[in-house]
Amino acid sequence: MKIKRQAISLDDLDWKILQALQENAKQTYSETGRLLNVAHSTIYERLKKMEEHGIIKKYTTVVNFEKAGMKHITAVMTIITDPKESENVAEKLSEFNNVLEVYTSLSEELLIIAKVVAEDQSKLHSFIAHSVAPFPGVLRIRTSIITKKHKEEDFPVGPNINLSKEVDADK
């Protein structure tokens, strides 16, 4: 049966389920139910509904690559493009497995920002020189190799999140 991806409104329980799963997606329906004081069947039904409507895109695993022994470098490419070709460039970039995220941004010039991983600097350069620079419409590329990760989190779910909340400097 084909499910229509119509927007649905989430109630308080839905948000709480999402928050619980964002903390730990491996927990069972029963564990989530116990945590929120509802039956596991309710959790199942709510999750099914949110999966069918595409609110939950997937359940995944966050791997610590260093501990897994996978040596790699991460870099952020900022690509300045001809505006007529930017969508094509973004689509083609998105097809590469080593390109993890692709965004477009309009500042003074039309930019594509992409996060890319490679085994080492030599392979990173080779990828950019042979696979990215030749795309029609690529005007310039600036690449920053990430040397230290200070924070990486998913967007926190919730109905009323205060994104402008500031840290009190006096504390």
Partner 1 sequence: MVESASRILRKVLREEAFYFFSSIGNYIGEKAASLEEFSEKIKEVNSKSLEFHLNRGDFEKWVDEVLGDAGLAERIKELRNQKLVGNRLKDELYLTILERYNELKTDLLQSV
- Residue 89 interacting with partner 1 (CB under 8 A): no
- Residue 35 interacting with partner 1 (CB under 8 A): no
List the interface residues with partner 1, window 65-84 (CB under 8 A).
Answer: 75, 77, 80
Q: How far is the CB of 149 from partner 1 (least distance, A)?
A: 18
Maximal C-alpha separation, the chain: 57
Tell which one of 9, 37, 95, 134 touches partner 1 (CB under 8 A): 134
Pairing of strands 110-118, 99-106: antiparallel
Helix (H, G, I), strand (E, B) or coil at 91: helix
Round to whole Å and give the CA distance between 87 and 79.
Answer: 12
- Residue 136 interacting with partner 1 (CB under 8 A): yes
Q: How far is the CB of 67 from partner 1 (least distance, A)?
A: 26
- Residue 142 interacting with partner 1 (CB under 8 A): yes
Angle at alpha carbon of residue 18, lines to 12 and 22, rounded to 5°: 145
Token pair of 86 as six digits: 């930017």
| Helix runs in the chain, H state only | 12-23, 29-36, 40-52, 86-94, 121-127
Report how far apart the first and last C-alpha atoms of the chain are (Å, whole number): 55
Kindly report the backbone phi and psi dihedral angles of residue 48, in degrees, each rounded to the nearest multiple of 5, phi listed first.
-60, -45
Tell which one of 74, 88, 98, 143 touches partner 1 (CB under 8 A): 143
- Residue 128 interacting with partner 1 (CB under 8 A): yes
**Size of the residue set binding partner 1 (CB under 8 A):** 20
Q: Which is nearer to partner 1, 3 or 100 (CB)?
A: 100
The contact set with partner 1 (CB under 8 A) reads 75, 77, 80, 121, 124-125, 128-130, 132-134, 136, 138-143, 145
